Structure 1
């Protein structure tokens, strides 16, 4: 039953996710270890969901906030501090994932453009 439900959920995944972790890499020449970006998973099916929330501050100014949620396989381990590239945009994991038998949900933050 879990497999059928999971397959049905994953059929709705229209996006692809690449997960990048910062890992210590030793330079063979200088012998120094620096954190470098390493792709640990590419083209993983997923689904992004956006929710806009309008709230009033001090009863005068409306403030618009957007919540970005990622739906992905529960078997994927996305470490804190990882960068996720989805639809050519870069995101960071925000908080702990909610893991269910058929999927997991993660809140994401859009990373600022590097200009």
Structure 2
């Protein structure tokens, strides 16, 4: 709807996080098709929202695992399984994996479920 176009342009200006999204696409080399990594978006404004982070869920081995949601422009097509690297407004970098396919049901943005799963 055209009446939401100003909202689509304004919302990303409020997001201070920056993301680089890498995914795989099928690439044909002659008669053989391979999946290759490609950068889908780089230095793109976004917002990370933590869904759940509990100190009681941290393991003895120092694994830092929690769920998060990424708010991103609808025009970016993110495949399921994409790797997402987020740089926050303070310059801290966090890597997420096992991203869901983006839910684009909102006029202003899409939402992706992500899991941070790295060694602390």
User: What TM-score bracket applies, with the shorter chain setting the length?
Assistant: 0.5 to 0.7
Distance 1:110 1:100 in 2: 24
Distance 1:21 1:3 in 2: 28
Please report the TM-score for the alignment, with normalisation by the length of structure 1.
0.68
The Cα offsets for residues 44-73 of structure 1, whole Å up to 9 and x where unpaired, read as 11111113366xxxxxxx658843110000
Structure 1's unaligned 5+ residue stretches are 55-61
The Cα offsets for residues 79-114 of structure 1, whole Å up to 9 and x where unpaired, read as 01211111222212136524311111111111435x
What do you get for the CA RMSD once the two structures are aligned? 2.9
Task: Write 1 or 2 for the structure with the bigger share of helix.
Answer: 2
Structure number with larger C-alpha Rg: 1
The number of residues matched between the two structures is 104
The Cα offsets for residues 15-70 of structure 1, whole Å up to 9 and x where unpaired, read as 1111111245689xxxx87544322221111111113366xxxxxxx658843110
Please report the TM-score for the alignment, with normalisation by the length of structure 2.
0.66
